[in-house]
């Protein structure tokens, strides 16, 4: 399809279709997350995030909006060709502090600082816009009820000995490599035994949609500079070092800077089609939007200079005094769909518990000067 014939879907207040009883599921999701974090807190005598507890890199950089964007991309944060300071946090999915050779999906959370403009009500007056992403293209469940089943199992698995998790992960990784070699990646093994590739070469996405000003989009981050592209799919030996990923990221940024492209995939207009039958649904987070119909388009560049990617002071600040949430957002980038709606309470409650348990004050920095070197 040529880009001239593409008609993008306009944002309207009724693009979402909330389920009648969904708040009950949201409350249960939030309670389960709390249970995970409290279980871990009793083990470690410290409260960590209930998922993505372990960080591997905490970086400072800038986001530079591309000048001369067409109207459909010149929206919200990307309306003006200017630059913003940003904080990046690389993480791994589990809520416990496993050794890095227990592989699982990676997270990338991005906080854009010094952002003016109207925010969603829970974030009113705050100077930040976050994007909270994983290295996948669709979510594990279509909706909050489906996710609740999975997260309950995860909660129950927390009491498994670490050795068992390690054995499952390594076994699953090997099995997955075999299946991939014959082009049959296994949905069940995907994730827990994900191949050990360099996290800096990965592409990340919000997976679920956000409002994109007058339109609707998913937002993603892909390696832009040749040195990061060179790490895409590169196997790394996670060996025996407990914090091998932290060391890999440190090794890179000690000598180099790198850039990522910030991309958006706009939803197409599908007049008269029910959400469940759409190619670009709002309420089905496990549906990958077809790239051949609406390609990812670059709206900005992230520039990260050479630096210490895990200094003690910055690691403490980012892990302990920042929280990243899709609901730290401009009205122009309001999260959309059931999975996104369920995250409002869960992230807020998780942050509150961490603040109280660890006696920490949380901050939303307006400038890079507030972030330790």
> Which residues are registered as beta bridge partners of 222?
261
Tokens representing 306 are 């050479």
Task: Give the nearer residue to ligand HEM in terms of CB position, either 48 or 253.
Answer: 48
Q: Least CB distance from residue 178 to ligand HEM, whole Å? A: 28
Closest residue by Cα to residue 119 from 65, 76, 57? 76
Q: What's the first-to-final CA gap in the chain, in angstroms?
A: 47
Question: Could you count the other beta carbons within 10 Å of the beta carbon of residue 43?
Answer: 13
Bridge partners of residue 298, in order along the sequence: 263
C-beta of 87 vs 300, nearer to ligand HEM: 87
11 vs 347 by CB, closer to ligand HEM = 347
Residue of 263, 221, 239, 238 lying closest to 59 (CA atoms): 221
Q: How far is the C-alpha of 59 from the C-alpha of 304, rounded, in Å?
A: 7
The tokens describing 323, both together, are 């929280």
Please enumerate, as own/partner, the contacts of 119-123 that have beta carbons within 8 Å and a separation of 24 or more.
119/328, 119/329, 119/330, 119/331, 120/327, 120/329, 120/330, 120/331, 120/334, 122/327, 122/344, 122/348, 123/327, 123/328, 123/329
Nearer to ligand HEM, 69 or 249 (CB): 249
Choice between 216 and 350, CB closer to ligand HEM: 350
Provide the binding-site residues for ligand HEM, judged by CB under 6 A: 29, 33, 49-52, 89, 91, 107, 109, 132-134, 139, 147, 207-208, 285, 323-324, 339, 342-343, 346-347, 350-351, 354
SS3 per-residue string spanning 197-261: ECHHHCCEECCCCEEECCEEEEEEEEECCHHHHCCCCCECCCCCCCCHHHHHHHHHHHHCCEEEE
Minimum distance between the CB of residue 94 and ligand HEM, rounded to whole angstroms?
11
- For residue 330, which of 118, 111, 125 has the smallest C-alpha distance? 118
Quick check: 26 and 345 in contact, CB under 8 A? yes
Minimum separation from the CB atom of position 333 to ligand HEM (A)? 14
Nearest-approach distance from CB 206 to ligand HEM, in angstroms: 6
By beta carbon distance, the residue nearest ligand HEM is 107
| Beta carbon nearer to ligand HEM, 279 or 320 | 320
For the CB of residue 140, give the shortest distance to ligand HEM in the complex, in Å.
Answer: 9
Nearest residue to 196 via CA among 99, 279, 127: 99
Q: How many helices (H) and strands (E) does the chain have?
A: 7, 9
Cβ 264 to ligand HEM shortest distance, Å = 15
- Minimum Å distance from CB 198 to ligand HEM? 18
Structure tokens at 274: 């029910």
Question: For residues 49 and 173, which CB has a smaller minimum distance to ligand HEM in the complex?
Answer: 49
Q: Please, are residues 279 and 268 in contact by the beta-carbon 8 Å criterion? A: yes
Between 137 and 232, CB nearer to ligand HEM: 137
Least CB distance to ligand HEM at residue 123 (A) = 14
The pairing of strands 258-266 and 297-304 is antiparallel
Query: What is the closest distance, in whole angstroms, from the C-beta atom of residue 341 to ligand HEM in the complex?
Result: 9
- Identify which of residues 132 and 266 has a Cβ nearer to ligand HEM in the complex: 132
């Amino acid at each position: 399809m040529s880009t001239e014939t593409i008609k993008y879907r306009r944002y309207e207040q009724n693009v979402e279709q909330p389920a009648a009883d969904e708040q009950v599921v949201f409350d249960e999701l939030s309670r389960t997350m709390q249970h995970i974090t409290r279980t871990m807190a009793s083990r470690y005598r410290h409260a960590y995030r209930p998922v993505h507890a372990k960080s591997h890199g905490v970086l400072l950089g800038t986001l530079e909006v591309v000048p001369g964007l067409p109207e459909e991309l010149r929206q919200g944060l990307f309306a003006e060709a200017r630059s913003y300071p940003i904080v990046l946090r690389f993480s791994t999915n589990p809520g416990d502090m496993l050794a890095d050779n227990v592989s699982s999906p990676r997270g990338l959370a991005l906080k854009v600082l010094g952002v003016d403009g109207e925010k969603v009500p829970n974030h009113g007056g705050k100077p930040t816009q976050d994007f909270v992403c994983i290295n996948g293209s669709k979510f594990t469940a279509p909706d909050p009820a489906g996710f609740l089943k999975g997260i309950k199992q995860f909660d129950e698995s927390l009491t498994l000995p670490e050795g068992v998790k390690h054995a499952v992960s390594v076994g699953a990784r090997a099995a997955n490599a075999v299946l991939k070699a014959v082009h049959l990646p296994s949905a069940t093994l995907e994730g827990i035994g994900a191949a050990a590739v360099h996290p800096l070469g990965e592409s990340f996405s919000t997976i679920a949609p956000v409002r994109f000003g007058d339109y609707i989009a998913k937002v993603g981050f892909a390696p832009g500079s040749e040195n990061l592209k060179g790490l895409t799919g590169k196997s790394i030996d996670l060996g025996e070092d407990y914090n091998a990923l932290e060391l890999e990221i440190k090794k890179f940024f000690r000598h180099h800077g790198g850039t990522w492209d910030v991309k958006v995939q706009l939803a197409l207009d599908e007049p008269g089609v029910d959400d469940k039958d759409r190619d670009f649904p709002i309420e089905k987070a496990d549906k990958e939007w077809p790239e051949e119909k609406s390609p990812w388009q670059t709206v900005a560049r992230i520039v990260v200079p050479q630096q210490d990617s895990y200094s003690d002071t910055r690691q403490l600040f980012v892990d302990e005094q920042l929280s990243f949430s899709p609901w730290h957002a401009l009205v122009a980038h309001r999260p959309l769909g059931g999975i996104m709606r369920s995250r409002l309470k869960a992230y807020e409650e998780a942050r509150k518990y961490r603040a109280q348990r660890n006696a920490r004050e949380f901050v939303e920095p307006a400038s890079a000067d507030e972030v330790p070197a």
